[in-house]
Amino acid sequence: MMKLCGASVSPFFERIVIMLDMKDALDQIELAPVPGGFKSDEHFAYHPMGKIPFLIREDGTSLTESQIIAEYLDHKLDGSYMLPTDFEVVIQTRLIARIMDIYYFAAIHPIGGAAFGGEISDEALEKAKEVDIPAAFNYLEKYLGSGSRAVGDDWTIADAVLISQFYWYEALSTRFGLKDFSSHPKLNAYWNGIKDSELVLRSFERVKKSYDEFLGENE
């Protein structure tokens, strides 16, 4: 059985777990901690950048980068495809993932850094809140679908990307004064429509448990 290594405290790891849950394939993959421990020699042997997640395949080789792993497992495992076969839908799904990975993650990074104990200037935090995050949301708003899901009315990998990132946006919103989604109508309607679904609540429970474990290990 293949092993997905990392922890749900990482939205990039959790993205893949959500995708597996969507296709009812969680029992086809072992979710495992980093072999040898984080930043160990064994870790670097599997992921040369010392990051998570990474996938250990049945032949012992590793695969890195969350979107690549998600698409690989979507193709290899039993269950409905979370990257649809319609080309236009595939492109929109990948575009949403790319916007989140490149623009949103860069925008939210100062907030995440401060939340995990980094020394971030007030100017950087203010710019993230007032300029960079709204700009990323404007970009996302343009390409978000008008159905009940990120693209159309069925779950796709794009939803897994959004859910995994928005756990942290909601969790940190009060502490850092992050704005709600009300100024982005499609995003606001999308999130209000799915945030109380069983799929999202299961993800949030996993991330909270993983974060609590992270805090315990670093006390």
Residue-wise pLDDT for 37-81, tens only, equals 999 999 999 999 999 999 999 999 999 999 999 999 999 999 999
Rounded-to-5 percentages of helix, strand, coil across the chain? 60, 5, 35
> 153 and 55 in one domain?
no
Residues 189 and 123 in one domain: yes
Cβ atoms of residues 208 and 170 within 8 Å: no
- Among residues 76, 102, 126, the one where a domain terminates is 76
CATH, residue 52 = 3.40.30.10
- Model's pTM, two decimal places? 0.96
Q: What distance in Å separates the CA atoms of residue 189 and residue 185, rounded to the nearest whole number? A: 6
Q: Are residues 13 and 32 in the same domain?
A: yes
Q: Within this chain, do residues 52 and 99 fall inside the same structural domain, yes or no?
A: no
Interatomic CA distance for residues 105 and 166, integer angstroms: 11
Q: Is residue 60 part of a domain?
A: yes
On whether both 111 and 65 belong to a single domain, the answer is: no
Q: Which of 22, 56, 76 is the last residue of a domain?
A: 76
161, 100 contact by CB (below 8 A): yes
Q: What is the pLDDT of residue 217?
A: 76
* Residues 183, 213 within the same domain: yes
Are 70 and 139 in the same domain?
no
Q: Tokens for 39?
A: 């930043």
Residue 168's domain is classified under what CATH number? 1.20.1050.10
Q: Is residue 82 part of a domain?
A: no
| Co-location of 169 and 69 in the same domain | no
The residue written with tokens 């203010």 in the block is 126
Which of 52, 143, 147 is CA-nearest to residue 100?
143
Domain that holds residue 58: 3-76
**Is 92 found in the same domain as 72?**
no
Would you say 156 and 89 are in contact if contact means Cβ atoms under 8 Å apart? yes
Are residues 126 and 58 part of one domain?
Answer: no
Model confidence pLDDT, tens digit, residues 79-127: 999 998 899 999 999 999 999 999 999 999 999 999 988 999 999 999 9
Token pair, residue 193, equals 């429509």
Which pLDDT score, from 0 to 100, does residue 216 have? Answer: 80
pLDDT at 177 over 90: yes
Total domain count for the chain?
A: 2
Model confidence pLDDT, tens digit, residues 123-162: 999 999 999 999 999 999 999 999 999 999 999 999 999 9
Which pLDDT value is given to residue 8?
Answer: 97
Pairing mode of beta strands 30-32, 54-56: unpaired
Average pLDDT on 11-37 reads 98
User: Residue 219's pLDDT band (boundaries 50, 70, 90)?
Assistant: low
- Say whether both 207 and 162 belong to one domain: yes
- Which helix (H) or strand (E) element contains residue 91? helix 87-98
Alpha carbons 191 and 110: distance in angstroms, whole number: 23
Question: What digits encode the pLDDT tens for the residues 187-213?
Answer: 999 999 999 999 999 999 999 999 999
Among 85, 60, 64, 66, smallest CA distance to 160 is for 66
Cα separation, 204 vs 217, in Å, equals 20
- In terms of domains, do 136 and 38 share one? no
Last residue of a domain, one of 45, 76, 107: 76
Stretch 18-30: mean pLDDT, rounded?
98
Question: What is the structure's pLDDT at 43?
Answer: 98
